[in-house]
């Protein structure tokens, strides 16, 4: 068989191809290990942050501190990923980590919204994409060179996750007796929704996921309505 093959395809063609495939597979293996460690750290961060649903705002500080510490672990793993991934064309392998970068971005946005990562002192509860990039210590929306970065799509998808999480938090805040937070969340989600509405989205994941934002806006409005009907909204 081998000698026959040499007749049709010059010797070495398929061997060369196999070598190229194997090189890519080795890169994918290496990336997968790092991506898995990001995933593992993020799962812990998420489980810490989910305690916010059952913790009154006044006692949130320890939760935030624990989440911050764990986000530092994530950032370290992202640093490793950035170092390895930057050796190869970014978009060749980005499918391998895009989901995990979204999740890590979501953790940072949520932790920031709750007042962590230095967000407590500012008026605006939302980290801009550049600020998320600074926290992750990676560039964002890179255009002029081919290296690891956080993309706009990843940031926006994380923002949709944040809205979904906050809609849940609005209801749970009421259960905890916090009637101020649903109002803040309502205002915040409307602001972000207004932003999403000016985007020209194509029929892709971002479109599908951002379509759900309007229902979250309504969910939180319903909570605020319920509170106002009963005279429970805080007076300012």
Partner 1 sequence: MASEEASGTAPSTSLYLPSFEYFRSELDEHHDRRERIIKASRDITAASKKIIFTLHRVRQLQAPLPQNVIKGNAQYYETISKQFASVSADLQGLNAHRYARQISGGCQEYFEAASFEHYLTNARILPYDEAAAQVKKLDAEGPGIELSMEDYILGIYDMTGELMKFAITFMATNQALPAISSPAEGGNVSQRNLLTDMRDLRSALESLDAGYGPFAKDVDKKADVMRASVEKVEKALYGLTVRGAERPKGWMPDVEAGRALEVEG
Establish if 195 lies at the interface with partner 1 (CB under 8 A): yes
Given 58, 95, 121, 175, the residue binding partner 1 (CB under 8 A): 95
Given 36, 40, 54, 194, the residue binding partner 1 (CB under 8 A): 194
Residues 125-144 interacting with partner 1 (rule: CB under 8 A): 126, 128-129, 141-143
Residues 163-192 interacting with partner 1 (rule: CB under 8 A): 183, 187, 190-192
Given 33, 59, 134, 146, the residue binding partner 1 (CB under 8 A): 146
- Indicate the residue among 19 and 40 with the shorter CB distance to partner 1: 19
Cα-Cα-Cα-Cα dihedral sign, residues 203, 209, 210, 213 = positive
Establish if 230 lies at the interface with partner 1 (CB under 8 A): no
- CA pair distance 211, 160, nearest whole angstrom: 9
Given 69, 137, 199, 232, the residue binding partner 1 (CB under 8 A): 199
Task: Name every residue whose Cβ is closer than 8 Å to that of residue 59 and which is 6 or more positions away in sequence.
Answer: none
Residues 54-93 interacting with partner 1 (rule: CB under 8 A): 89-92
Determine the distance from the C-alpha atom of residue 232 to the mean position of all C-alpha atoms in its chain, rounded to a whole number: 34
Given 175, 177, 200, 231, the residue binding partner 1 (CB under 8 A): 200
- CA pair distance 129, 227, nearest whole angstrom: 33
- CA pair distance 86, 94, nearest whole angstrom: 11
Among candidates 116, 153, 154, which has minimal Cα distance to 135?
A: 116
- CA pair distance 229, 146, nearest whole angstrom: 55
Determine which helix (DSSP H) or strand (DSSP E) holds 33, and give its type and residue range.
helix 13-49
Structure tokens, 110: 């949520």
- Indicate the residue among 65 and 91 with the shorter CB distance to partner 1: 91
Task: Compute how many other C-beta atoms are within 10 angstroms of the C-beta atom of residue 186.
Answer: 21
Q: Which segment (22-30, 55-63, 105-113, 212-220) binds partner 1 by CB under 8 A?
A: 22-30
Binding site for partner 1 (CB under 8 A): 1, 3-11, 13-14, 16-18, 20-22, 24-25, 28, 89-92, 95-96, 123-124, 126, 128-129, 141-143, 145-146, 152-153, 156, 183, 187, 190-192, 194-196, 198-202, 236
């Amino acid at each position: 068989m081998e000698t026959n093959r040499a007749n049709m395809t010059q010797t070495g063609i398929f061997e060369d191809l196999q070598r190229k495939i194997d090189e890519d597979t080795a890169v994918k293996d290496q990336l997968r290990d790092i991506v898995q460690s990001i995933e593992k750290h993020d799962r812990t961060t998420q489980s810490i942050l989910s305690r916010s649903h059952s913790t009154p705002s006044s006692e949130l500080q320890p939760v935030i501190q624990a989440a911050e510490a764990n986000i530092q672990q994530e950032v370290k793993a992202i640093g490793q990923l950035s170092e390895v991934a930057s050796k190869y064309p970014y978009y060749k392998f980005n499918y391998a980590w895009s989901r995990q970068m979204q999740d890590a971005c979501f953790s940072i946005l949520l932790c920031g919204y709750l007042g962590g990562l230095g967000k407590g002192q500012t008026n605006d509860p939302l980290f801009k994409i550049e600020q998320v990039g600074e926290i992750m210590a990676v560039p964002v929306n890179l255009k002029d060179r081919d290296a690891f970065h956080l993309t706009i799509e990843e940031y926006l998808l994380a923002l949709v996750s944040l809205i979904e999480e906050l809609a849940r938090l609005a209801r749970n805040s009421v259960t905890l007796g916090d009637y101020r937070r649903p109002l803040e969340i309502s205002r915040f989600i409307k602001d972000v929704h207004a932003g999403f509405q000016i985007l020209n989205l194509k029929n892709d994941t971002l479109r599908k996921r951002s379509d759900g934002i309007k229902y979250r806006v309504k969910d939180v409005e319903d909570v605020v309505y319920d509170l106002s009907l009963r005279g429970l909204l805080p007076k300012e």
